[in-house]
């Protein structure tokens, strides 16, 4: 039994993406996926390499070509990963006017520094890093307006360790449920030497107990080889907590019968 959708992937329309969309589609088909969603980055932080990199017109045109070329083999969904919307409300409002199937939000920066930068790990304790990160996540969730929260506890991907802040994470998941924001199970830490998804059982349990049921699965692939990576682990995690996996089409959650 498999989750058939990878709803978090990046192509060369992201500054850090490596492969063309057509190659990503072929890889997804070869791995037996029924759905792939491209969620290339929109970054408005001038410190980011992807600052103003995204080209919506060319992206949309390429998505349409992929649907024409591969539509009989896989459903191609059009998404975006927008960073720190609470800091860039005007730019975020512009995105909401466009025809995305899914608007995903990720927190990538603590101030002007990327969360995975060695400057952060060298100057702050793990506890401080996670606490500051969750504060920023809470601000974004309270701001709202998006469909899915990506990589809930992202710092673990870089520091190969997690830190429990149960009160803060509970506040975040409760706000997500209130706002109708769906939790993503992101498998990227597993291929970076860590033993958990982001998030994993502790936060997923909080989300389910707070009344959240809907989840999406994402590899956060930036190249063909990582599409649907470690999804077996994600499948079991979702099944163990009785989450409902799904896709988004036209910004509406649709459950998929996959577990």
Query: Is a pLDDT exceeding 70 seen at residue 2?
Result: no
The string of pLDDT tens digits covering residues 70-92 is 999 999 999 999 999 999 999 99
Record the pTM.
0.95
Tally of domains within the chain: 1
- In DSSP terms, 40 is beta-bridged to 80
Q: Has residue 258 been placed in a domain? A: no
Condensed to tens digits (0 to 9), the pLDDT of residues 118-168 reads 888 778 888 899 999 999 999 999 999 999 999 999 999 888 777 789 999
**Domain interval for residue 234:** 5-252
pLDDT confidence of residue 130 = 93
Q: Within a domain: residue 257? A: no
Are 76 and 33 a contacting pair, CB within 8 Å? Answer: no
pLDDT in tens, 36-62: 999 999 999 999 999 999 999 999 999
Mean pLDDT of the chain: 94
What pLDDT is recorded for position 158?
87
pLDDT of 259 above 60: no
For residue 88, give the DSSP letter: -
Model confidence pLDDT, tens digit, residues 203-253: 999 999 999 999 999 999 999 999 999 999 999 999 999 999 999 999 999
Q: Flag whether 129 is in a domain.
A: yes
In sequence order, which residues have a C-beta less than 8 Å from that of residue 231 and are 6 or more positions away?
2, 3, 6, 187, 217, 219
What pLDDT score was predicted for residue 246?
A: 97
Whether 259 maps to a domain, the answer reads no
pLDDT tens-place string over residues 95-122: 999 999 999 999 999 988 999 888 887 7
Give the pLDDT confidence score for residue 3 in this predicted structure: 63
Instruction: Tell whether 230 is covered by a domain.
Output: yes
CATH code, domain carrying 156: 3.20.20.140
> H or E stretch including 42?
strand 35-42
Asked if the model's pLDDT at residue 196 lies above 50, the reply is yes
Which of 146, 147, 185 has the alpha carbon at shortest distance from 5? Answer: 185
Share of the chain above pLDDT 70, in %: 98
CB of 212 closer than 8 Å to CB of 183: yes
- Whether pLDDT at 67 is above 60: yes
């Amino acid at each position: 039994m498999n989750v058939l959708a990878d709803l978090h992937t990046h192509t060369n329309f992201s500054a850090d993406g490596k492969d063309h969309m057509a190659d990503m589609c072929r890889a997804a088909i070869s791995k037996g996926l029924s759905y792939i969603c491209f969620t290339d980055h929109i970054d408005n932080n001038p410190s980011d390499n992807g600052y103003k990199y995204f080209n919506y017109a060319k992206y949309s045109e390429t998505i349409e070509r992929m649907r024409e070329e591969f539509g009989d083999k896989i459903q191609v969904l059009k998404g975006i990963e927008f960073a720190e919307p609470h800091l860039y409300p005007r730019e975020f409002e512009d995105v909401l006017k466009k025809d995305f199937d899914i608007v995903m939000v990720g927190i990538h920066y603590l101030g002007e520094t990327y969360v995975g930068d060695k400057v952060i790990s060298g100057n702050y304790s793990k506890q401080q890093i996670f606490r500051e990160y969750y504060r920023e996540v809470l601000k974004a969730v309270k701001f709202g307006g998006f469909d899915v929260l990506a990589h809930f506890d992202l710092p673990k991907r870089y520091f190969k360790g997690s830190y429990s802040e149960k009160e803060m994470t509970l506040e975040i998941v409760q706000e997500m449920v209130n706002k109708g924001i769906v939790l993503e199970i992101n498998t990227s830490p597993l291929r970076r030497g860590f033993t958990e998804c982001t998030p994993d059982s502790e936060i997923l349990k909080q989300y389910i107990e707070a009344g959240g049921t809907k989840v999406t699965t994402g590899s956060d692939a930036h190249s063909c080889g990582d599409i649907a990576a470690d999804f077996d682990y994600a499948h079991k995690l979702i099944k163990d907590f009785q989450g409902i996996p799904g896709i988004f089409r036209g910004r509406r959650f649709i459950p998929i019968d996959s577990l």
